[in-house]
Amino acid sequence: MARLANLETEYPVLDSTVRNFCASHGIFSVEDFLIHDLYMLAAFAEQNDSSERLKEGIAQVLSIIDDMHQPWLNGMELLEDAKRNKHVFPTGIQGIDLLLGDGIHVGQLTELVGPSSSGKTQVCLRTASNVARNHMVLYLDTGNSFSPQRIAYFLGKTISPSSAQAKNQFLQKVMSNISCHSVFDIFAMFDVLHQLESYLRCQDGRGGCQMRLLIVDSISSLISPVLGSSSTLGRALMTSAGYLLKKLAHQHNLAVLIINHTVGGEGGSSKPALGDSWKCIPHSRLFLSCDRGSNTYNVSILRHPSMASGKAARFVI
Amino acid sequence: MEIWRLPISASQRGKLISSGYTSLSSLSSISSSDLARELKVSESEAMNILKVASHSRGSETSNASCSIVEGAQSAWDMLHDEESLMHITTSSADLDNILGGGIHCKEVTEIGWSSLSLIVNSVLKYKLTTAFSSESIIFMLIGGVPGIGKTQLGIQIAVNVQIPNDFGGLGGKAIYIDTEGSFMVERAFQIAEACIEDMSEYNRFLRKDFQECKIKMLPQDILENIFYFRICSYTEQIALINYLDKFLSEHKDVKVIVVDSVTFHFRQDFDDMALRTRVLSGMALKLMNLAKRFSLAVVLLNQVTTKHTEASFQLALALGDSWSHTCTNRIVLYWNGNERYAYIDKSPSLRSASAAYSVTARGIRNSSSSCKRIKMM
């Protein structure tokens, strides 16, 4: 929200008299305006000498505020939007796709939680290789665990045997759709998401291959260094990261997949990291675990908007 | 409220918000002296804030059409980059095999110890893993009981990274960060001598028909290329990791960082567990950043602790679940009868497998037992 001083160039009504009056009530920016009691302000304006100018100024600020909020949508418009834009992407892993109905939803934040070495990165790589056939994918990597060889392996498994050159071309086409970026602290991640937002705003206008999947591996490594100290900055960064991801998912029709790890809970059981404040931010949460020494993994639903929680399945990678 | 996104201190943020600057665009048209006056801070601080804000804004406008975000690479390019990367051998052929050629740059590897009960008894048939054979480990965490050979492996890696390019090595230098004081210079000298002897033997074997080109390396040269840091407290450890950034920009030919052991100073005298988690995750991220930016391998050595779960005691790597999550790869060293084994516990691209190795007077070598097959898990 801009300071009133900066708005003067666009709206000459907000000149120094209006601003001095507002400053006398502790209002420096449009946001302060919102918090203030407007009836009181209008009453004070009446009593002032240049009440006409002040009333014009107040009305102007109110009209600026009206432009700022999101438009109202009714149920039919939401349904239209859901049918047209909010598709479901299969992950390519049979067990998980069966468990979730069809796969991960566009417009929603899906979280994979699990102890170390339980297959979370593998699921993300598999999903990325599946979605990259037709759409673009952005993979944000915090632990140097993105493996192009693995993606090539997954793609190689699904293609029918053909000439080496055709296979190479197919690999090139699909793998050029996946972009991988390393981020090592949370501020860098915010920068990247902001750049992504401007890219997506341009993308919505044109056609062609569009970005539909964002993977953050793993968001808990970015948040752990700032969470838990005496200041509340860590929790604020965590919740604003969550909201930013959900906003990107909904407005630009992305499916967002994030990875979290587990910490020890009461009685020796493991619970997801990042605490209770994070618990309600992702739309769906899946708990992964691995049977020691074999290739089978277990996945169970902790939270999902349309499937019952507690359902479990096994899958093999 | 976009001010949250700026990496500035909490007091500066508070002052900005109370003066009404809550978005980046509001900082665009103000000069640093005006800002200093309004916030009641020094002019240099105000200039700093404006610089950070304009950097964040600048990244918004420079929206290159080729890449979605600055610095992102497509997976296809990364695939070709990786194929041309080189490995650091561990001098044991079996161990190198399961690691896909050796220890690699750009990742962090942890090596640890595990009890036998965690290893499944069923042994799968040995299969050639052509799908994974071109990959390698980069960021490693190695853990084990004392006596299993962690420090030996660390010294061997610090020596092997210096093998010249002609012999298939990286020809780079090593940084050895010692927290326990277990680095023995005499042992390093012994291993360096053995490495040079092996190289001249290989040389003689291969270039039989050419003139014998002497290896010009001496053990002293190898020792000279190992940068050794001795750390006595956890604050020194954090300070050193922060300093490594500058050190590595001056010494560009460093190719491996070995930390022995990364957990030692964090296990005693640490009352605040939350602080420990924060410090460790921050340290891991910084090491990852160094590994990626300077294309080096990072090998961390870890200790074991006993975990009490369900009325049974199990040995697990120290520092808990959060730390296990942060490292890219994990190798566990364990005893199986009389033999030492290494087992890949966590890796994004390599299959779980274990291999035997032994510690000899010449360093880490293949195990000399009759059962030399690599056990696939």
- How many other CB atoms sit within 10 Å of the CB of residue B71? 13
Q: Please name the residues in contact with B153: beta carbons below 8 A apart, sequence gap of 6 or more.
A: B90, B111, B142, B301, B333, B364
B85 and B213 in a single domain? The answer is: yes
B106 and B208 in a single domain? The answer is: yes
Tell which of B9, B12, B76, B278 to mutate to test the A interface (max A CBs under 10 Å): B76
Rg of chain A taking only CA atoms, in angstroms: 25
B181 and B121 in a single domain? The answer is: yes
In a domain, B182, yes or no: yes
pLDDT in tens, B333-361: 888 888 888 888 888 877 778 888 888 88
- Say if CB A88 and CB A105 are below 8 A apart: yes
CA-CA-CA-CA torsion for A165, A166, A172, A178, nearest 10 degrees? Answer: -150
B237 and B299 in a single domain? The answer is: yes
In a domain, B68, yes or no: no
CA-CA-CA-CA torsion for A29, A31, A32, A36, nearest 10 degrees? Answer: 140
Question: Distance between the two ends of chain B, CA-based, in angstroms?
Answer: 51
B134 and B275 in a single domain? The answer is: yes
Tell which of B68, B119, B347, B377 to mutate to test the A interface (max A CBs under 10 Å): B68
DSSP annotation of B177 reads: E
Nearest chain A CA: its distance from B327 CA (Å): 7
Please list the ranges in chain A whose pLDDT falls under 70.
1-3, 6, 9-10, 266-268, 293
pLDDT at B65: 44
Structure-block tokens of residue A200? 């997506």
B49 and B192 in a single domain? The answer is: no
pLDDT at B49: 82
- For A226, the 3-state DSSP assignment is coil
Structure-block tokens of residue A313? 């399945």
pLDDT at B330: 85
Residues 197-216 of A with CB under 8 A from B: 198-199, 202, 211
B55 and B101 in a single domain? The answer is: no
CATH code for the domain in which residue B228 is found: 3.40.50.300
Query: What is the secondary structure of A125-144 as a DSSP string?
Result: HHHHHHHTTTSEEEEEESSS
Q: Give the separation between CA A265 and CA A269, rounded to whole angstroms.
A: 5
pTM value is 0.80
CA A97, A101, A103, A109 dihedral sign is negative
Amino acid at A49: D
- Say if CB B189 and CB B223 are below 8 A apart: yes
B14 and B155 in a single domain? The answer is: no
- Say if CB A68 and CB A32 are below 8 A apart: no
Contact list, A220 vs chain B (CB under 8 Å): 325
Q: CATH homologous superfamily for A79-315?
A: P-loop containing nucleotide triphosphate hydrolases (3.40.50.300)
Structure-block tokens of residue A125? 């790589």
Are A184 and B288 inside 8 Å of each other by CB? yes
Q: Which domain holds residue B15?
A: 2-61
Nearest to A307 by CA among A101, A68, A45: A101
Are A228 and B277 inside 8 Å of each other by CB? yes
Share of chain A above pLDDT 90, in %: 14
Q: Give the separation between CA A114 and CA A261, rounded to whole angstroms.
A: 5
B111 and B201 in a single domain? The answer is: yes
Taking each continuous run of H as one helix and of E as one strand, the counts in chain A are 13, 11
- Say if CB A60 and CB A11 are below 8 A apart: yes
Which stretch of DSSP H or E encloses residue B139?
A: strand B139-143
Give CA angle at B203 (B202, B207), nearest 5°. Answer: 120
Amino acid at B186: E
Domain boundary pick from B10, B29, B61: B61
Are B326 and A3 inside 8 Å of each other by CB? no
B249 and B362 in a single domain? The answer is: yes
- For A6, the 3-state DSSP assignment is helix
CA-CA-CA-CA torsion for A17, A20, A22, A28, nearest 10 degrees? Answer: 120
Residues 96-135 of A with CB under 8 A from B: 115-117, 121-122, 125, 132
How many folded domains does chain B comprise? 2
B23 and B127 in a single domain? The answer is: no
B235 and B311 in a single domain? The answer is: yes
Are A150 and B348 inside 8 Å of each other by CB? yes
Structure-block tokens of residue A208? 């062609």
State whether residue B241 sits within 8 Å of chain A by CB: no
- Say if CB A260 and CB A218 are below 8 A apart: yes
CATH code for the domain in which residue B14 is found: 1.10.150
Q: Give the separation between CA B274 and CA B282, rounded to whole angstroms.
A: 12
Q: Which residue of B has its CA nearest to A174?
A: B76
Angle between helices B43-61 and B10-18 (to 10 degrees): 80
- Say if CB B290 and CB B245 are below 8 A apart: yes
Please list the ranges in chain B whose pLDDT falls under 50.
1, 62-66, 113-137, 209-211, 371-372, 377
pLDDT at B310: 62
Query: What is the secondary structure of B309-359 as a DSSP string?
Result: ETTEEEEEETTHHHHHHH-SEEEEEEEETTEEEEEEEE-SSS--EEEEEEE
Nearest chain A CA: its distance from B234 CA (Å): 16
- Residue A293's region, left for phi above 0, alpha for psi from -120 to 50, else beta, is left
Are B325 and A220 inside 8 Å of each other by CB? yes
pLDDT at A214: 93
Q: Which residue of A has its CA nearest to B272?
A: A229
- How many other CB atoms sit within 10 Å of the CB of residue B54? 13
- How many other CB atoms sit within 10 Å of the CB of residue A312? 13
